[in-house]
Amino acid sequence: MALVPCQVLRAAILLSYCSILCNYKAIDMPAHQTYGGSWKFLTFIDLVIQAVFFGICVLTDLSSLLTRGNDSQEQERQLKKLIALRDWMMAVLAFPVGVFVVTMFWSIYIYDRELVYPKLLDNFIPAWLNHGMHTTVLPFVLIEMRTTHHQYPSRSCGLAAVCTFAVGYILWVCWIHHITGVWVYPLLEHLSPGVKIIFFAAVTIIINIFYLVGEVLNNYIWDTQK
């Protein structure tokens, strides 16, 4: 009986992400027309990650229900692959990237919103959509962690994957600046080259820390240590 509410909950979260993405893409912002489009923003990339992740969660739930009571070994094998993909995405992308986006955005926003979310954006993005992109991500991913046990990869593999994502995005941001001469985030305009290197290194360390926090929290909730 406990499985049904989880299915409904995941489906509702998936639909909410689809709604947020559709509303965001429908906004006619100048930044969407420049090099890289929406894909230059980590917030948008995170929304896509969360939508894909919860889509896999819903697909896993449906597959689990369809294969229940079925003795087909092939279907069971495919379901295990789907569960492994779901768990990997949760560990390496959904949790660390989602928590990073929420904490970094609101930390910088509180300090000086012009560095990360200029007031001009209020004319394009309504408050509810801003919170959908930068706030609800955290409770949604925590709800998923609380309702489902996820098998984390080995720590070395997990950290290597997180580092690959972080470095890849940093290189993408630097490439956009190389092509356009403009930094994706106003904050970077105020940093010297040396400080930028320190900042990028700190960002990579922070997202790795969030990976470890997710691993510890998952173990604590489900008591896998025992």
* pTM for the full predicted model: 0.92
* Whether pLDDT at 1 is above 80: no
The answer to whether 96 and 156 are in contact (CB under 8 A) is no
Instruction: Tell me the DSSP string of 108-170.
Output: HHHHHGGGTS-GGGGGTS-HHHHHHHHTTHHHHHHHHHHHS------HHHHHHHHHHHHHHHH
Parent domain of 131: 6-28+37-224
Average pLDDT over residues 52-71: 86
Predicted confidence (pLDDT) at residue 50 exceeds the cutoff of 90: yes
d(CA 153, CA 88): 7
- Dihedral sign (CA 169, 171, 175, 181): positive
**Structural domains counted in the chain:** 1
Per the domain annotation, does 194 fall within a domain? yes
User: How does residue 222 score in pLDDT terms, banded at 50, 70 and 90?
Assistant: confident
Range 132-145 average pLDDT: 94
CA distance 19 to 38: 16
69 in a structural domain = yes
C-alpha 158/C-alpha 182 separation (Å) is 32
- Asked if residue 30 lies in contact with residue 162, where contact means CB atoms within 8 angstroms, the answer is no
For residue 208, pLDDT beyond 50: yes
| CA dist 39 → 32, 45, 160, 196 (Å) | 9, 6, 23, 21
pLDDT at 67: 76
Asked whether residue 87 is assigned to any structural domain, the reply reads yes
Q: Can you read off the two tokens belonging to residue 92?
A: 């390496």
Query: What's residue 69's pLDDT?
Result: 66
In a domain, 185, yes or no: yes
Query: Which of 29-33, 135-139, 143-147 has the least mean pLDDT?
Result: 29-33
DSSP category for residue 184: S
Provide the token pair at 194: 């040396």
pLDDT at 224 over 70: no
Cα distance between residue 55 and residue 85, in whole Å: 12
Q: What is the rounded average pLDDT of the residues 39-62?
A: 95
Averaged pLDDT score across all residues of the chain: 90
**Burial group, residue 117, by CB count within 10 angstroms (0-12, 13-18, 19+):** buried
List, for residues 16-38, the tens digit of each pLDDT value: 999 999 999 888 888 788 898 89
Q: What is the mean pLDDT of residues 36-63?
A: 94
Checking if the pLDDT of 210 tops 90, the result is yes
pLDDT of residue 30: 81
User: What is the model's pLDDT at position 86?
Assistant: 95
pLDDT band for position 78 (cuts 50, 70, 90): confident
pLDDT at 154 over 90: yes
pLDDT of residue 3: 46
Would 1 be classed as within a structural domain?
no
192-207: per-residue pLDDT in tens? 999 999 999 999 999 9
Is the predicted pLDDT of residue 82 greater than 80, yes or no? yes
Task: Specify the 3-state DSSP secondary structure of 22.
Answer: helix
The one-letter amino acid at 194: G
Structure tokens at 211: 């990976």
95 found inside a domain: yes
> Is residue 35 packed enough to be buried (19+ CB in 10 Å), middle (13-18) or exposed (0-12)?
exposed
